[in-house]
Amino acid sequence: MIDAGISCRETEKRMERLGLSMQTVKAIFISHEHTDHISGLAALAKKYQLPVYISVGTHFYSGIQIEASLIQPLLPYKPVMVGELTVTAFPKLHDAAEPYSFIVNNSKVKVGVITDIGKPCEHVIRNFKECNAAFLEANYDEEMLEQGGYPRHLKNRISGGKGHLSNAQALLLFRMHRAPHLSHLLLSHLSKNNNHPQLVEDLFKQYAGNTTIAVAGRYKETPVYCVNDTSGIVVKPVIKVVKPRPEQLSLF
Ligand SMILES: [Zn+2]
Ligand SMILES: [Zn+2]
């Protein structure tokens, strides 16, 4: 599981509705300390005794209370094996202590989990280019943010180089750096006030080609998507998404 931004109970409910057991979750990886990524963490880790892979900086600034035996180190480009999956963190540009995005892979398929980035840095571009599927932030529509009611400092924070990725920035990344084998693009972490799911879907579908485009909803779980190897043919479930807010992703 990557990030735990909703309560333990709500996570359980949404997993259940997808026919997924919490027993299949073997570890939690935390991208950064912002509340929308950790608010269910302590309860989930405790109840299911899950190891929590978290950077020293994120752990320190999260203030989260988790029993010490569950805490595991998280370092950039230091792969962690969880069952048949390998999870690799890599740095990102975001206004948090020690924030990371992730690549999750098995022997055939690579899935990127890339949210909360001010702009696509070299790490994002390099890793995105290799993905068979990506869970990518499309946080705001530039015009909606500009015309909206947020105070100027907040608008600047969001659109600054260490805030969030706009629809246009995400689209550019997709158009310029998608791999021929990118079969799925799940757009995520949409702002409630400065974006609209239909807008994002319409924008990206114009350029979808062979890639399945889906928008991860804020209020309920997103269906399970199956990602196959480089041929792009769907054969078996690899990625399963529980996505109440655009912050939480579960991978199996
Ligand atoms: Zn954040
Ligand atoms: Zn966030």
> Does the structure show a pLDDT above 50 at 132?
yes
Q: Which ligand is nearest to the CA of 62?
A: 1
Q: What is the pTM for the complete model shown?
A: 0.90
Instruction: State in Å: Cα 246 to ligand 2 middle.
Output: 8
Instruction: State in Å: Cα 32 to ligand 1 middle.
Output: 7
Q: For residues 54 and 71, is the Cβ–Cβ distance under 8 A?
A: yes
Span 209-222, average pLDDT: 94
The model's pLDDT over 232-245, given as tens digits with 9 standing for 90+, comes to 444 344 344 444 44
Span 146-174, average pLDDT: 97
Write down the pLDDT at residue 228.
85
Instruction: State in Å: Cα 59 to ligand 1 middle.
Output: 14
Instruction: State in Å: Cα 172 to ligand 2 middle.
Output: 21
> Does the structure show a pLDDT above 50 at 103?
yes
Span 36-49, average pLDDT: 98
Instruction: State in Å: Cα 113 to ligand 2 middle.
Output: 12
Q: How many residues does the chain have?
A: 252
> Does the structure show a pLDDT above 90 at 41?
yes
Q: Which ligand is nearest to the CA of 92?
A: 1
The pLDDT-based confidence of 115 (bands split at 50, 70, 90) is very high
Instruction: State in Å: Cα 233 to ligand 1 middle.
Output: 34
* Percent above pLDDT 70 for the chain: 91
Instruction: State in Å: Cα 158 to ligand 2 middle.
Output: 11
Which residues, chain by chain, have CB under 5 Å from ion ligand 2?
A: 36, 116
The model's pLDDT over 176-193, given as tens digits with 9 standing for 90+, comes to 999 999 999 999 999 999
The pLDDT-based confidence of 218 (bands split at 50, 70, 90) is confident
Span 161-175, average pLDDT: 98
CA 17 from chain centre, in angstroms, equals: 20
Tokens representing residue 49 in the block? 């005794």
| 52-54, strands of its sheet edge to edge | 28-29, 52-54, 71-73
